[in-house]
């Protein structure tokens, strides 16, 4: 499953933040998304995941093939680690959580309510969720926040084996994961009123923004 | 979808889940009313069906903001939205979980509380029947209101303001059916009207609520 | 040339700017004479006394209160289907006028009800329906006020307006059912025209036209303001993003 994007403009609060994006994420590929804070990486990932519509352009991949790993892990404090994982597995129609548990070294924590986990352990659980979705395209937003060095290695291994199995990953991160990856810098795509625009971009903005100028 | 229902029920039962809060509130309201209007049995038994309906409605309202708010805050709602369950299904399951945790216990408790209010004999059956048919509509309408206000910082009060006017038809028909039934009058018309509202709400409101949720997530 | 062209904010601003003075003028020459005629140049009704003259405010405002909600429903639907900014801003602008009309109708009704029925308020189906309509207006406006992003607010309030309309109609039936009513006042409203002699009816028609024009004028002014507010919001957001 390939994720291809052409001439994509994403908007936050109705205002374009990145425009004219074009890239391809093929099976087996890791793409590192970089750019300063507030440059629109999260907005881009949410748009690709189908949580918000793009202002211009379209995303070629089926949202059913994509799983999105956000800043927040979506964990329930009163459920145990195992219950949390089993829930997400069954939502996605899977039942085997063993690879996820072993891949992120959660075996010893299974019974523990996730309220009693440290920030790094929570993050590991949140990342383990990716494995129980069974989806080929991972979109990850700052996955290594609050992970220690050993856990970062676990995560990098998980990405490696996911990619080796024909999956792909688009990762917004500021640290070097030691992965074989290409880099996509969003800087050049920053929305700018002075940039020359294509016709369909103009149409999309024209309905309001340019209306009074 | 069943996994989601099981999870929501489990969360409600665990510490801090708020299970039983609505029930306790209902009990307190039913206790306070006689303090307000006086202990005269005749008056109490006359107003009992209405008071029980209003009490159940308010108790239902109490937990509405939790339907989506907690999942929104911890990011689960984003992940659920990208999961292979349609948004309409999420709304329906969440409303069902709310009803099982709030509406159903209220329905079961209402005949007992009726005794506190000197409710006459057939009234126990009628209050049970009308609440059984009416409370699913309250949960569904409430889920719609919760979907509208999920993104807001202090949406609780606003939620009440939005949802209470929508509750009016259900309340009128429900309380009217209960009152008529208790008094031995024919009650099928209001009962059918209320059943119609419940059926219509369950059939159509998930679409409106799902649309509101999608807007709030983007 | 289609009607939808005025859904473009620029065209709407240009046209509404030109039309507005005329609407205000027309409103002035219908509403003021209508009210003066109704108040001072109609005979005193033998059975109702002078208080009857409040119908020249009460009836038009009550009609507008309902019509404005219907107009909001239509404009909300247009926003949901075709996403025309003017449409949903007009709905927001109309709500403010609609709620005012509802309050005027309720207050004048109470003032009139006192000498007529000996009470300011009765849980009569009509009065109750207006009270409920007032609550619906409040909820709609509160939702607008609570949301920062104008597009999000537009989407959510439109959904609320559509769902609310269904429940408003249901409420109307429910209230009728709940209390069949003791409304002798119905004999004075338009659905029983035969009870109202022309002497009273002609100025009432003029007032109805005046109130409608007043609504159109206020709507145009307020919609223009709303559009400018959205524009302002967009510019602010853009500035903030530049800083970031």
Q: Summarize the confidence of residues B45-49 as an average pLDDT.
A: 89
Does residue C47 surpass a pLDDT of 70? Answer: no
Considering the domain boundaries, does residue C165 fall inside one? yes
User: In chain A, what residues touch C83 (CB-CB under 8 Å)?
Assistant: 207
| Higher per-residue pLDDT: B130 or A146 | B130
Average pLDDT value over all residues in chain A: 82
Q: For residue B140, what are the domain limits?
A: 2-217
For residue A197, the model assigns a pLDDT of 64
Chain A residues with beta carbon closer than 8 angstroms to that of B17: 78
Q: pLDDT over 70 for what percent of chain A? A: 90
Full domain range(s) for residue C205: 20-41+52-243
Residue with tokens 């003066």: C36
Residue C170 belongs to a domain:
yes
C-alpha angle C119/C122/C123, rounded to 5°? 170
Is a pLDDT exceeding 90 seen at residue A165? no
pLDDT at C219: 94
Interface residue B165 vs chain C (CB under 8 A): yes
Give residue-wise pLDDT tens across range B3-27.
Answer: 888 888 888 888 666 778 888 999 9
Beta pairing class for A168-172 and A30-34:
parallel
Nearest to C63 by CA among C208, C169, C229: C208
Whether B83 and A73 lie within 8 Å, measured CB to CB: no
> B102 near B59, Cβ under 8 Å?
yes
| C82-127 confidence digits (pLDDT tens) | 888 888 999 999 999 999 999 999 999 888 888 877 888 888 888 8
CB contact under 8 A, C160 and B148: yes
181-200 of A, contacting C, C-beta below 8 A:
none
Flag whether residue A13 sits within 8 Å of chain C, measured between CB atoms.
yes
Determine the pLDDT at residue A15: 76
- pLDDT reading at C191 higher than 60: no
Judge whether C8 lies within some domain. no
The pLDDT of residue A210 is above 60 = no
**Range with the poorest average pLDDT among B11-25, B122-136, B165-179:** B11-25
Q: How many CA atoms lie within 13 A of B162 on its CB side?
A: 30
Q: What percent of chain B has pLDDT over 70?
A: 99
Structure confidence at residue B208 (pLDDT): 96
Q: What's the pLDDT score for residue B88? A: 94
List, in order of start, the domains of chain A with CATH numbers. Answer: 3-212 (3.40.50.300)
Contact A91 B81 (CB under 8 A): no
- Per the CB < 8 A criterion, the answer to whether A70 and A113 are in contact is no
DSSP characters over B95-118: HHHHIIIIIHHHHHHHHHHHHHTT
Asked if B45 has any chain A CB less than 8 Å from its own CB, the reply is: no
Interface confidence (ipTM) of the complex: 0.91
What is the pLDDT confidence band of residue C183, given thresholds at 50, 70 and 90? very low
User: Which residue in chain C has the smallest CA separation from A211?
Assistant: C10
In sequence order, what are the beta bridge partners of A25?
A3
Query: Is A14–C8 a contact, with Cβ atoms under 8 angstroms apart?
Result: no
Residues in C touching B168 (Cβ below 8 Å): 132, 167, 171, 174-175
Summarize the confidence of residues A12-28 as an average pLDDT.
83
C224 half-sphere exposure, CB direction, 13 A CA radius: 15
Residues of chain B in contact with residue A73, where contact means CB-CB under 8 angstroms, are 74-75
Tell me which DSSP letter residue A101 carries: H
pLDDT at residue C185 in the model: 47
pLDDT at C143: 93
Q: Which of A202-211, B5-14, C14-23 has the highest mean pLDDT?
A: C14-23
Q: What's the N-to-C CA distance of chain C in angstroms? A: 43
- How much is the pLDDT for C46? 58
Q: Given this model, what pLDDT does residue B193 score?
A: 92
Residue B81: CB atoms within 10 Å: 22
Average pLDDT, rounded, for chain B: 90
d(CA C227, CA C14): 12
Question: Do C85 and A13 count as a contact with CB atoms less than 8 A apart?
Answer: no
Phi and psi, residue A72, nearest 5°: -85, 145
Q: B78 at the A interface (CB within 8 A)?
A: yes
If we measure between CA atoms, which residue out of A49, A67, A1, A55 comes closest to residue A189? A55
C-chain residues within 8 Å CB-CB of B152?
146-147
Instruction: For residue A193, count other CB atoms closer than 10 A to its CB.
Output: 11
Alpha-helical (H) ranges within A11-148 are: 41-48, 81-91, 98-103, 119-133
Query: Please, which pLDDT band fits residue A7 given cuts at 50, 70 and 90?
Result: confident
Tell me how many helices (H) and strands (E) chain B has.
10, 0
Nearest residue of A to residue C239, measured between CA atoms: A15
C-chain residues near B212 (CB < 8 A): 155-156, 159
The three-class DSSP label of residue A57 is strand
* Residue of A74, A114, A119, A135 to mutate when probing chain B, most B C-beta within 10 A: A74
- Any domain includes C182: yes
Chains that touch C (3 or more CB pairs under 8 A): A, B
Tokens for A204?
């999309």
- By the CB < 8 Å criterion, does B13 face chain A? no
Q: How many other C-beta atoms lie within 10 A of the C-beta of residue A136?
A: 20
Number of domains in chain B: 1
Select from C174, C176, C177, C180 the residue whose CB has the most chain B CBs within 10 Å, as the one to mutate to test that interface: C174
Residue C201: inside a domain: yes
Domain count of the fold of chain C: 1
| Dihedral sign, Cα of residue B10, residue B15, residue B21, residue B27 | positive
pLDDT at A175: 81
Which of C228, C241, C244 would best serve as a mutation to test chain A binding (most A beta carbons within 10 A)? C241
Q: How far apart are CA C158 and CA C164, in angstroms?
A: 9
In the predicted model, what is the mean pLDDT of residues B26-41? 90
Q: Cβ of B202 under 8 Å from any chain C Cβ?
A: no
Residue A212 has pLDDT above 50, yes or no: no
Q: Whole-angstrom Cα distance, residue A110 to residue A197? A: 53
Q: Do C171 and B172 touch (CB under 8 A)?
A: yes
| Averaged pLDDT, A4-29 | 84
Q: What is the DSSP code (8-state) at residue C224?
A: H
Q: Residue C113 in 3-state DSSP? A: helix
Q: Answer with the residue of higher pLDDT: B5 or C201.
A: B5
Strands A3-12 and A56-59: antiparallel
What is the average pLDDT across B87-104? 93
- Residue with more model confidence, C197 or B211: B211
Helix (H, G, I), strand (E, B) or coil at A31: strand
Residue of A nearest to C151 (CA): A14
> Which one of A21-35, A38-52, B95-109, C120-134 scores highest in mean pLDDT?
B95-109
């Amino acid at each position: 499953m390939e994720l291809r994007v052409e001439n994509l403009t994403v908007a936050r609060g109705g205002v374009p933040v990145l425009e004219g994006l074009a890239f391809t994420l093929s099976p087996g590929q890791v793409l590192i998304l970089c750019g300063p804070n507030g440059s629109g990486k999260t907005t881009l990932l949410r748009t690709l995941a189908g949580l918000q519509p793009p202002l211009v352009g379209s995303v070629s991949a089926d949202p059913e093939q994509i799983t999105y790993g956000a800043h927040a892990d979506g964990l329930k404090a009163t459920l145990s680690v195992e219950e949390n994982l089993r829930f997400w597995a069954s939502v996605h129609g899977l039942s085997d959580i063993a690879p996820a548990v072993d891949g992120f070294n959660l075996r010893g924590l299974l019974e523990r309510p996730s309220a009693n986990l440290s920030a790094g352990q929570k993050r590991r659980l949140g990342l383990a969720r990716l494995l129980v979705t069974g989806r080929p395209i991972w979109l990850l937003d700052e996955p290594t926040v609050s992970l220690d060095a050993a856990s970062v290695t676990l995560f990098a291994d998980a990405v490696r084996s996911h990619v080796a199995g024909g999956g792909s990953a688009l990762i917004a991160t500021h640290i070097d994961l030691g992965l074989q990856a290409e880099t996509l810098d969003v800087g050049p795509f920053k929305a700018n009123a002075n940039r020359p625009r294509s016709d369909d971009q103009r149409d999309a903005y024209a309905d309001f923004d340019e209306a009074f100028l | 979808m069943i996994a989601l229902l099981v999870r929501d029920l489990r969360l409600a039962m665990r510490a801090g889940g708020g299970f039983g809060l609505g029930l306790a509130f209902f009990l307190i309201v039913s206790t306070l009313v006689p303090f307000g209007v006086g202990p005269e049995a005749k008056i109490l038994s006359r107003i009992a069906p209405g008071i029980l309906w209003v009490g159940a409605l308010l108790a239902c309202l109490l937990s509405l903001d939790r339907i989506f708010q907690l999942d929104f805050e911890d990011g689960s709602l984003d992940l659920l939205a990208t999961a292979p369950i349609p948004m309409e299904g999420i709304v329906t399951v969440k409303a069902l979980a709310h009803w099982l945790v709030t509406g159903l216990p209220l329905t079961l408790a209402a005949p007992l509380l009726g005794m506190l209010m000197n409710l006459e004999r057939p009234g126990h059956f009628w209050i049970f029947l009308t609440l059984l048919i009416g409370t699913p509509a309250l949960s569904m309408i409430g889920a719609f209101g919760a979907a509208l206000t999920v993104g807001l910082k202090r949406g609780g009060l606003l939620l009440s303001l939005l949802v209470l006017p929508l509750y009016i038809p259900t309340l009128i028909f429900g309380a009217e059916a209960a009152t008529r039934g208790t008094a031995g009058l024919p009650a099928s018309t209001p009962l059918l009207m209320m059943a119609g509202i419940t059926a219509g709400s369950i059939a159509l409101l998930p679409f409106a609520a799902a649309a509101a949720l999608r807007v709030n997530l983007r | 040339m289609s009607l939808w062209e005025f859904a473009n904010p620029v065209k709407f601003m240009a046209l509404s700017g030109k039309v507005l003075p005329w609407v205000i003028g027309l409103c002035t020459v219908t509403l003021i004479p209508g009210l003066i005629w109704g108040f001072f140049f109609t005979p005193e009704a033998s059975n109702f006394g002078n208080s009857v003259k409040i119908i020249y405010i009460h009836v038009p405002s009550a009609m507008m209160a309902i019509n404005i909600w219907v107009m909001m429903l239509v404009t909300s639907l247009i926003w949901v289907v075709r996403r025309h900014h003017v449409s949903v801003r007009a709905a927001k602008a109309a709500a403010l006028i609609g709620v005012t009309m509802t309050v005027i109708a309720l207050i004048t009704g109470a003032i009139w009800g006192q000498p007529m029925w000996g009470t300011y308020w009765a849980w009569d189906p009509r009065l109750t329906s207006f009270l409920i309509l007032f609550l619906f207006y409040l909820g709609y406006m509160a939702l607008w006020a609570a949301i920062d992003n104008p597009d999000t607010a537009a989407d959510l309030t439109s959904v609320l307006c559509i769902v609310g309309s269904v429940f408003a109609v249901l409420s109307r039936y429910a209230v009728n059912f709940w209390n069949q009513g003791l409304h002798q006042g119905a004999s004075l409203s338009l659905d029983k025209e035969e009870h109202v002699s022309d002497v009273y009816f002609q100025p009432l028609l003029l007032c109805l036209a005046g109130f409608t024009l007043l609504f159109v004028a206020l709507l145009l002014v307020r919609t223009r303001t709303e559009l400018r507010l959205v524009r302002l919001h967009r510019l602010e957001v853009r500035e903030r993003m530049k800083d970031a």
